[in-house]
A and B are shown apart, each in its own frame.
Chain A
Amino acid sequence: MAVGGKRRWWWKRRAAVVAGVTIAVSVWVGSHCYFRRENMAKAEEALVSMCEERARMIQDQFAVSVNHVHALAILISTFYYQKQPPALDQETFAYYTAKTAFERPLLNGVAYAERIIHSQREIFETRQGWTIMTMKREPSPMQDEYAPVIYSQETVSYIEAIDMMSGEEDRENILRARATGKAVLTKPFRLLESNHLGVVLTFPVYRSGLPEDATVEQRVEATAGYLGGAFDVESLVENLLRQLAGNQDITINVYDITNASEPLIMYGPQIPEGYMPLSHVSMLDFGDPFRKHQMHCRYREKPPLPLSAITTPFGIFVIIMLGGYIVFAAKNHYDNVKEDCRKMEELKVQAEAADVAKSQFLATVSHEIRTPMNGVLGMLDMLLDTDLNLTQKDYAQTAQVCGKALISLINEVLDRAKIEAGKLEIEAVPFDLRSILDDVISLFSSKSREKGIELAVFVSDKVPEVVTGDPGRFRQIITNLVGNSVKFTERGHIFVQVHLADNSDLGADEKVHSGLNGLSRSEKVQIMSDCTFDTLSGFEAADTRNNWENFKLLLSDEMCLQEASTSDKEPDIVTLIVSVEDTGIGIPLRAQDRVFTPFMQADSSTSRNYGGTGIGLSITKCLVELMGGQINFISRPNVGSTFTFTAVFKRCNKDAIADTKRTLSEALPTGFKGMKAFIVDGKPVRNAVTRYHLKRLGIAVEVANTVKMMLNSLTRQNSNFRTGRQPYIILIEKDSWYTGMDVYLHNQLLMLKQNDCVLELPKVILLVTCEYDKMSSGSLVDTVIIKPLRASTVAACLQQVLGMEKQQKKELSNGPTNLRNLLAGKNILVVDDNKVNLRVAASALKKYGATVECAESGKDALSLLQLPHKFDACFMDVQMPEMDGFEATRQIRLMESKANEQISNGGASRGEDSMIVEWHLPILAMTADVIQATYEECLKCGMDGYVSKPFEEQQLFQAVAKFLVSKPSSDS
């Protein structure tokens, strides 16, 4: 097929070439012929005009001569006037004719022959003194009449006495002339003497008295003689023509065509010569109607072909050939390009198909691998649960780790393939962004501690608590980026920030805002002397936009915006800017443009040093784009990289939150509300991070750059703290700490206490980045928190320090049994309108040893909870008909506050008061939709917390522990 096509194509091409050449050649030939013909026509025209010109000229000259001879004839006739013989003699005639010869340039000479009848011959001969001779110079034989020449011009004197009638032509001439009375020409013949071709002109000379209309006989009778003249046509014509231009170019023949079938040549070569095809014939009228003459003109040589007749067609030919070649080449090129294009299309389709097939294959294969791998991992899990000796355990664990690595790699490949195949869909569920970031941070906490890197996360207050989006993918992006950063960073920090997109734009107009807080400016100078860069760890970061200058602006901006924006209608879409900044090795400049290409690491040595497949960032990019965002980065080798991406989420309306959300993380403890903390940290970015975490716990924060400043402000503000009931916490960064500080600080604080500046000794907490620092903390520090900070770890530490939950650590280690301890013997009321739920919840609580009572509606619960009651806690369903959980709780709280008032008013006995400080039944909301908004609502109406429904052991424990531990159970 293809060969045939090619062949056909080749033939076509060949045909085109042949056609093109043929056209060009024919045009060439055609134009050449045209030029030739044109040239010929021109030549002919010239010939015609030349010929006519010559003809007219000869004719005119001839006519002039004839006229003159005519005049001479008349003159002679006058000599016959009543004279016989005429009164003229030879001398006079010769003299006259010689003098007037210029008038007759064509005539050799003229002669006059008298008509002599035979009877007069003798008289005549005697009078003249000679005998009449014939042409042959013999004495004339006897004739009827004779015409002997009696007068002659000197030039022709040799014909004197010759009888003109003896010559054939002359005789004919004479007879014709006297009959017509007009000039008569002979046919051409060789003239005597000169032997030139010539004609003889003969005029009759009549005696006077001849009427005009005389008959032939009268004329013959009146004839006195004949005047004749010989035209030496040959030499005369030659002389004539010599005077004209272009004489050399043409040949001329003059014919006498009186006898049409046998033209007689008068002039010109006997055999016509010259260029035969082109000739012109002009008629000549020499005044003798009997004789007809023609002049034939032709070029001596073939008229030369002008150069242009060759060059122009050739030029045209060349142009046509070139044009044809151009068209041909263009067509050829077009064909080639078209063919290539078609091939390319085909290949493209193939490639695309292959790509899709590859992606599908990858997806399928990855999936198929995953299934058995899950089996392998599950079995390894179970194997690890069995009794193994140390070696076996080690092997099994190694296998498990490898298996997990393999699974994660497969998952990545699968993700990538899914994205490429367009099969990955982004979920839209509400989730808590901050807790996800906390999770990611905790995931990398051990690694960052090992390396001594500061790992921190900061989420702007403007970012809503809950957004709708794909938490899994978001987590994946963050994990990828942070994972990369951790992998490539040996010192310094990794800092994850989340801001609202529109908000962070404000960082650009830095100058406008920097004047606002002059105080911090002076502080900044001090800071600058300590460390080189205003970043989290003091190391330089690649993206200078992330330094304190801008960060501060974002913060201060938040402050003012928060006040203003509450009334605003918030938009439906939340665009977040997330940046992950590290101070790692950075990305080499030449590798920066292919960072997002799959399986492409900065260079091959990277994978040797740091491992990994390099697929992560490409997936990250795909995910970010799927989430409607963009990712880019700024990186400087040996300084660090900052990856920034935007993500678009939807804002959650409260109802949707309540309905679809399941908790993604444990709720943060709420017991710290109203506490105050002092952060001692020289680095503003870092203390902002710390502040962020403490704020999430509801702790009010103050900041000081050094310990000394902190102590000063403590002294200054003592009155404030005296009134505050809550314990006071001091968090000190490792940087602001030095050996011996603990003693100094302790003494100072003791002094403050003695001076009544503080009610009780503040708890001192040291913030460190790695385990090593922990050693140097000194003994008088209450506790040490190893970074990365997370709200929940901070909370746990604070709980520990403040003695809020002394047993928590222990309990966490063995949950269920402790849950049993917590709940055993407790009276618990479960309120739910759904019987199934009620039964399940009750049964679950019973399992942990609690005594459970059930109520099927809020009202039932209220009646059961009339004070005083025996219940230690109440689990309340939120959504119930008639009276929902919130309303019921409000009513309970109302009852309790009334009772409490009565107590405080001294309505109850002192003894009771010491037993129960005040009525406050821990009420826990039970809801399937546990999210922050619900949680807030729970708190608002006086609930103490919530548990998810159905119960999850860990979460149940956490929720219950908060309230039941403070009253340690009797049987623990």
Chain B
Amino acid sequence: MLPLCSRVLLSHPFSPMSLMALREQLNMLVNSMYIEGLLDQQFQQLQMLQDASSPGFVAEVINLFCEDAERILTELTKDQAVVDFQKVDAYVHQLKGSSSSVGAQNVKLACIQFRQFCEENNKDGCLNALNVVKHHYYLLRNKFDTMLQLEQRIQAYDSKQQN
């Protein structure tokens, strides 16, 4: 992760201080998320995929992920009374897929746990796991929100400069 941030910093050696500060802030945020285990290498891959041709790629993926996750979580929360383990399993699998694509490590791990409970047809375990998943997800979404705001501001600066 160190090389990454240094690269980001070095790539804009002459940008104004506020822009530098914003980038610094963004880096700090992302780094802290790595350290907390919210994100893994995959997110780094995502960041690397973002380039001039697709400036909003990360944001787009994050938004997709959040929509997807929220939809699934709503579904999962809805039918708590009668648990159809297969259905739940399918949902959790999907959530696991998207979270691993985004690099949301904690959510992914929680999903794996969740699926194990599903297989055991352990209702209490599932409910617990759902709470854990939610917990991690909301934590992550908050961070993502901050991250996206920062990125927007950076892009705003960029476009201003270009103008």
A827 within 8 A of B: no
Contacts of A928 in B (CB 8 A): 96-97, 100
B38 within 8 A of A: no
Contacts of B49 in A (CB 8 A): 840, 843-844, 847
Partner of A843, one of B3, B57, B68: B57
- How far, in angstroms, from A928 to B97 measured CA to CA in the complex? 7
Given A843-B57, A881-B90, A836:B46 Cβ within 8 A: no
Nearest-neighbour CB distance to chain B for A927, whole angstroms, equals 9
Partner of A382, one of B2, B68, B101: B2
Once the chains bind, are A834 and B98 in contact (CB under 8 Å)? yes
B115 within 8 A of A: yes
Nearest-neighbour CB distance to chain B for A839, whole angstroms, equals 6
Given A382-B2, A950-B101, A840:B96 Cβ within 8 A: no
Given A382-B2, A382-B3, A839:B100 Cβ within 8 A: no
- How far, in angstroms, from A739 to B97 measured CA to CA in the complex? 58
Nearest-neighbour CB distance to chain A for B152, whole angstroms, equals 19
Closest chain B residue to A877 by CB distance? B97
Once the chains bind, are B101 and A660 in contact (CB under 8 Å)? no
Partner of A834, one of B2, B54, B101: B101
Partner of B97, one of A378, A382, A949: A949
A659 within 8 A of B: yes
A837 within 8 A of B: yes
Once the chains bind, are B64 and A836 in contact (CB under 8 Å)? yes
Residues of A350-391 whose CB lies within 8 A of B = 378, 382
User: Residues of B within 8 Å of A, CB-based: how many?
Assistant: 27
Nearest 6 CB-CB pairings of A with B: A836-B98, A840-B101, A837-B101, A834-B97, A836-B65, A836-B64
| Cβ proximity bits B95-139 to A, threshold 8 Å, 1 near / 0 not | 011101111000000001001000100000000000000000000
Give the size category of A's interface with B: 20 to 34
Given A840-B61, A844-B49, A950-B101, A378:B94 Cβ within 8 A: no
Once the chains bind, are A844 and B115 in contact (CB under 8 Å)? no
Once the chains bind, are A879 and B2 in contact (CB under 8 Å)? no
Closest chain B residue to A953 by CB distance? B45
Partner of A836, one of B90, B101, B112, B115: B101
Partner of A840, one of B3, B46, B93, B115: B46
B36 within 8 A of A: no
A872 within 8 A of B: no
Once the chains bind, are B97 and A837 in contact (CB under 8 Å)? yes
- How far, in angstroms, from A970 to B49 measured CA to CA in the complex? 25
- How far, in angstroms, from A834 to B71 measured CA to CA in the complex? 12
| Cβ proximity bits B33-49 to A, threshold 8 Å, 1 near / 0 not | 00000000010011001
Closest chain A residue to B50 by CB distance? A843
A833 within 8 A of B: yes
Nearest-neighbour CB distance to chain B for A878, whole angstroms, equals 10
Contacts of B45 in A (CB 8 A): 844, 950-951
Residues of A872-901 whose CB lies within 8 A of B = 877, 879, 881
Closest chain B residue to A655 by CB distance? B119
- How far, in angstroms, from A833 to B60 measured CA to CA in the complex? 17
Once the chains bind, are B54 and A843 in contact (CB under 8 Å)? yes
Closest chain B residue to A926 by CB distance? B97
Partner of B2, one of A378, A660, A840, A847: A378
Once the chains bind, are B68 and A950 in contact (CB under 8 Å)? no
Residues of A804-857 whose CB lies within 8 A of B = 832-837, 839-841, 843-844, 847
Apart from A836-B61, A837-B97, what are 16 other A-B pairs with CB-CB below 8 Å?
A655-B119, A659-B119, A660-B112, A832-B97, A833-B94, A835-B68, A836-B64, A836-B98, A837-B98, A840-B46, A840-B101, A841-B101, A843-B57, A843-B61, A844-B45, A877-B97
Partner of B61, one of A378, A382, A839, A951: A839
- How far, in angstroms, from A659 to B119 measured CA to CA in the complex? 10
Once the chains bind, are A839 and B2 in contact (CB under 8 Å)? no
Given A844-B45, A881-B90, A950-B45, A836:B97 Cβ within 8 A: yes
- How far, in angstroms, from A835 to B64 measured CA to CA in the complex? 7
- How far, in angstroms, from A950 to B54 measured CA to CA in the complex? 19
- How far, in angstroms, from A599 to B1 measured CA to CA in the complex? 37
Closest chain A residue to B49 by CB distance? A843
Once the chains bind, are B102 and A840 in contact (CB under 8 Å)? yes
- How far, in angstroms, from A772 to B109 measured CA to CA in the complex? 50
Residues of B40-94 whose CB lies within 8 A of A = 42, 45-46, 49, 51, 54, 57, 60-61, 64-65, 68, 90, 93-94
Contacts of B46 in A (CB 8 A): 840
- How far, in angstroms, from A836 to B2 measured CA to CA in the complex? 27
Q: What are some 26 contacts across the A-B interface (CB < 8 A)?
A: A378-B2, A382-B2, A655-B119, A659-B115, A659-B119, A660-B112, A832-B97, A834-B97, A834-B101, A836-B61, A839-B61, A840-B46, A840-B49, A840-B101, A841-B101, A843-B49, A843-B54, A843-B61, A847-B51, A879-B93, A928-B96, A949-B97, A949-B101, A950-B42, A950-B100, A950-B103
Closest chain A residue to B1 by CB distance? A378
- How far, in angstroms, from A949 to B45 measured CA to CA in the complex? 12
Closest chain A residue to B98 by CB distance? A836
Once the chains bind, are B68 and A836 in contact (CB under 8 Å)? yes
- How far, in angstroms, from A836 to B46 measured CA to CA in the complex? 12
Contacts of B64 in A (CB 8 A): 835-836, 839
- How far, in angstroms, from A382 to B4 measured CA to CA in the complex? 12
Once the chains bind, are A834 and B94 in contact (CB under 8 Å)? yes
Nearest-neighbour CB distance to chain B for A265, whole angstroms, equals 123
Given A881-B90, A928-B96, A928-B97, A836:B102 Cβ within 8 A: yes
Contacts of A836 in B (CB 8 A): 61, 64-65, 68, 97-98, 101-102
Closest chain B residue to A832 by CB distance? B97
Contacts of B3 in A (CB 8 A): 382
Once the chains bind, are B60 and A949 in contact (CB under 8 Å)? no
Most buried by B among A833, A839, A879: A839
Contacts of A840 in B (CB 8 A): 46, 49, 61, 101-102
Closest chain A residue to B43 by CB distance? A950
Nearest-neighbour CB distance to chain A for B45, whole angstroms, equals 7
- How far, in angstroms, from A839 to B97 measured CA to CA in the complex? 12
Nearest-neighbour CB distance to chain B for A429, whole angstroms, equals 11
Contacts of B115 in A (CB 8 A): 659
Nearest-neighbour CB distance to chain B for A709, whole angstroms, equals 53
Contacts of A837 in B (CB 8 A): 97-98, 101
- How far, in angstroms, from A834 to B68 measured CA to CA in the complex? 8
Closest chain B residue to A834 by CB distance? B97
Nearest-neighbour CB distance to chain B for A377, whole angstroms, equals 12
Contacts of B112 in A (CB 8 A): 660
Contacts of A951 in B (CB 8 A): 45
Nearest-neighbour CB distance to chain A for B92, whole angstroms, equals 11
- How far, in angstroms, from A821 to B123 measured CA to CA in the complex? 50
